[in-house]
């Protein structure tokens, strides 16, 4: 994500490779290589584009908002900034690292009311969040 002004400074962003013309916030973050690989760009030289390495998403977002570079951010956490136009996400591509999260409980407790209620609630929340992010919200 980046400020619209930063994108305009190079005449717009049309292809993922265009991002390599801009400062990369957190260039040592492994997610950059994963994202660029998903975008069809193998082994991009991110070191020549390094601007800073805060290592914290909120600091990366602040830098992106102020036009200092392009940051990998979680769209769900910055949906207000995206909705207001303060940040743009030029590509809908989402990188995945193949890892997941699991809700684990003993099988014999599957029907315990509080476990069942929590499982139903978390699945509903995840479904709701997934629908919002797929719609770009």
The encoded tokens of residue 110 equal: 């599957």
Torsion angle, CA of 86/92/98/102, rounded to 10 degrees? 60
CA–CA distance, 101 with 19 (Å, rounded to integer): 30
Whether 21 shows a pLDDT value over 70: the answer reads: yes
Torsion angle, CA of 121/132/59/21, rounded to 10 degrees? 150
3-state SS, residue 1: coil
3-state SS, residue 24: strand
Q: Do 16 and 39 touch, CB atoms closer than 8 A? A: yes
Name 52's bridge partners: 25
User: Model confidence over 93-127: pLDDT tens digits?
Assistant: 887 777 778 889 999 999 999 999 999 999 998 88
CB atoms within 10 A of CB 63: 21
User: Model confidence over 51-89: pLDDT tens digits?
Assistant: 777 889 999 999 999 999 999 999 989 999 999 999 999
Mean pLDDT, range 14-30, rounded to an integer: 93
């Amino acid at each position: 994500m980046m400020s619209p002004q930063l994108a305009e400074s190079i005449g717009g962003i049309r292809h993922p490779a265009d991002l390599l013309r801009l400062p990369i916030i957190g260039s040592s973050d492994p997610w950059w290589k994963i994202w660029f690989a998903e975008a069809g760009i193998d082994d991009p030289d991110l070191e020549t584009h390094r601007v800073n390495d805060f290592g914290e998403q909120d600091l990366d977002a602040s830098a992106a908002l102020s036009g200092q570079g392009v940051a990998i951010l979680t769209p769900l956490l910055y949906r207000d900034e995206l909705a207001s136009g303060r940040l743009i996400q030029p590509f809908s591509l989402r990188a995945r690292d193949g890892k997941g999260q699991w809700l684990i409980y003993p099988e014999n407790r599957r029907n315990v009311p509080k476990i069942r209620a929590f499982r139903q609630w978390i699945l509903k929340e995840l479904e709701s969040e997934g629908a919002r992010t797929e719609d770009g919200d």
